[in-house]
Structure 1
């Protein structure tokens, strides 16, 4: 079993196509297909079901991909560690993030990081918290900025708390709640609502807030971006519950302070078992830029039970 075979298999799974995988790996399709066939022959099972229209990962393929990604990440870390013995940090850095992210100035962080470490190739991807956490566990992302509830990092991940954010309701201009001093969760439950999709951090936070007071709400529309969510609310299709800092930047709706809603926690998370030199350099920069992070500037590691916190050496 060769590393290039693992890379080819991961590329096929990520792209859903042998043609696109070959393009990503800079090889001709016949060579990639041959290596996948050799790998399947060695394993004694099919990793992919091929049809004329698409490529589907088999159950055996799903079982194979996790360890394959870990092996590729370990090989990349080994190369980076050797390079780090010199004077220059090299390698790749993949960062995941929720949108919007107001707890840190991510573009400024990336610009400073590039100035310090120009030999590192950085990629940035935005996704739902559910997907970002899995990508960090699979080492597809070296680290991710996520909003979580509770504040502790999920199991097996280390984290640095960046902010505890208040939430605010957003309503159309002219709505009965517009101009109110504050609103409650129970009052919002009387309205149809617009929210982000399941799997996003803010949706999980909002669902928990309504469940905590025994309120049943109707989510009439789901938006995959805050910009779309604002537009739907502005057109009177429902009300929303979003971070107060985000609400303050929405000129087409009215913002109402909330009472009885827990703050959401924004943090950076990474694998507790260790990160690459490129990721360590980024985390060092993050610590420099957020010296007064909440919770006493503590970094913690998700443990086996809820609420467990330990010091992280990463």
Structure 2
């Protein structure tokens, strides 16, 4: 069994066809088909069901693919570790971030990182904090930037708090709350009379506000849910609702009035990474961020299990 054969199997599974897989792998289709047939013969089972219209995994193929992907990832990591030991950072860096990240200038960080380590392939995923933390725990992501309540805990990851913040209220220009807010911080009881737009129920972006109102014995009307801050801001800008957002983030929004809140929701932005594995590319990113022991060491130095010296 050869790594190239595993790559061919993964490519066919990803693209749904031998022709597209061959194009991705930069080989002729006959060579790719021959290697997969050779692997199937060695395994004693067909990995794909082929018809004139489609190609799909057999039950044996579905069982084989996850282990094949793990083997490919391990091989890529081994190559990256060797390169790091000889003074070169390469491989992949998979990052995740919430859309309302405000503690760092992420585009600038990525630009600087790419300039320093041009042989590292960088990818970025945007999602909810709880999903990003789970992807870091599983190893799908190397690191992630989260926005969570102070009580939030995620298993299997290490973390560093980047900023602690409070929420403020954002309203459309001319909203009645604008004049009231000019006299001082708004009370939660007054805000509970308003119609809100917020992020999806169950998300940590929503929980930060929900927990604060619940602790005060108050209920608020969330008539609108938004999956992204741009749509949320547009609803507020058009006078459909008010919203509570982190004070560090609202400076990025235009056409809105920002009002202080007494005892508003607390929020933290955190950087998280795996507690058990850290690639050389990930260690280099942490070092550039100045985070912990991983950041303080030379990421090109030989590493033991879990990316530790």
TM-score (norm 2): 0.75
Distance 1:124 1:92 in 2: 11
Structure 1 counterpart of 2:78: 78
Distance 1:25 1:136, change over 3 A: farther
SS of aligned partner of 2:178: coil
Checking the alignment, whether the CA contact within 8 Å between 1:103 and 1:162 is kept in structure 2 is yes
Aligned counterpart for 2:243 among listed residues 235, 240, 258: 240
Checking the alignment, whether the CA contact within 8 Å between 1:194 and 1:238 is kept in structure 2 is yes
Distance 1:92 1:226, change over 3 A: same
Q: 1:269-299: CA deviations, max 9, x gaps? A: 11100211111011000017x9xxxxxxxxx
Does residue 206 (structure 1) correspond to residue 209 (structure 2)? The answer is yes
Structure 2 unmatched ranges of 5 or more = 293-306
Structure 2 counterpart of 1:267: 270
Distance 2:78 2:172 in 1: 54
Q: CA deviation at 1:207?
A: 2.5
Q: CA deviation at 1:134?
A: 2.8
Q: CA deviation at 1:177?
A: 1.2
Distance 2:173 2:278 in 1: 47
Which protein is bigger by CA-based radius of gyration? 2
Distance 1:93 1:177, change over 3 A: same
Distance 1:126 1:43, change over 3 A: farther
* Cα-Cα RMSD: 4.0
Distance 1:105 1:45, change over 3 A: same
Distance 1:103 1:114 in 2: 20
Question: Which shifted more, 138-147 or 231-240?
Answer: 138-147
Distance 1:112 1:229, change over 3 A: same
Distance 1:65 1:211 in 2: 46
Structure 1 counterpart of 2:108: 108
Does residue 188 (structure 1) correspond to residue 157 (structure 2)? The answer is no
Distance 1:84 1:135, change over 3 A: same
SS of aligned partner of 1:113: helix
Does residue 282 (structure 1) correspond to residue 285 (structure 2)? The answer is yes
Structure 1 unmatched ranges of 5 or more = 291-311
Q: CA deviation at 1:162?
A: 0.7
Question: Which shifted more, 66-75 or 196-205?
Answer: 66-75
Question: Which shifted more, 277-286 or 81-90?
Answer: 81-90
Q: CA deviation at 1:242?
A: 0.6
Distance 2:267 2:121 in 1: 32
Checking the alignment, whether the CA contact within 8 Å between 1:69 and 1:139 is kept in structure 2 is no
Distance 1:53 1:245, change over 3 A: farther
Does residue 150 (structure 1) correspond to residue 153 (structure 2)? The answer is no
SS of aligned partner of 1:167: strand
Q: CA deviation at 1:27?
A: 6.2
Question: Which shifted more, 111-120 or 182-191?
Answer: 182-191
Does residue 133 (structure 1) correspond to residue 133 (structure 2)? The answer is yes
SS of aligned partner of 1:177: helix
Q: CA deviation at 1:66?
A: 6.6
Distance 2:212 2:34 in 1: 50
Distance 1:199 1:43 in 2: 46
SS of aligned partner of 1:248: helix
Structure 2 counterpart of 1:302: none
Distance 1:174 1:279, change over 3 A: same
Structure 1 counterpart of 2:295: none
Structure 2 counterpart of 1:257: 260
Structure 2 counterpart of 1:296: none
SS of aligned partner of 1:266: strand
Distance 2:285 2:102 in 1: 18
Distance 2:177 2:151 in 1: 30
Distance 1:24 1:131, change over 3 A: farther
Q: CA deviation at 1:75?
A: 2.6
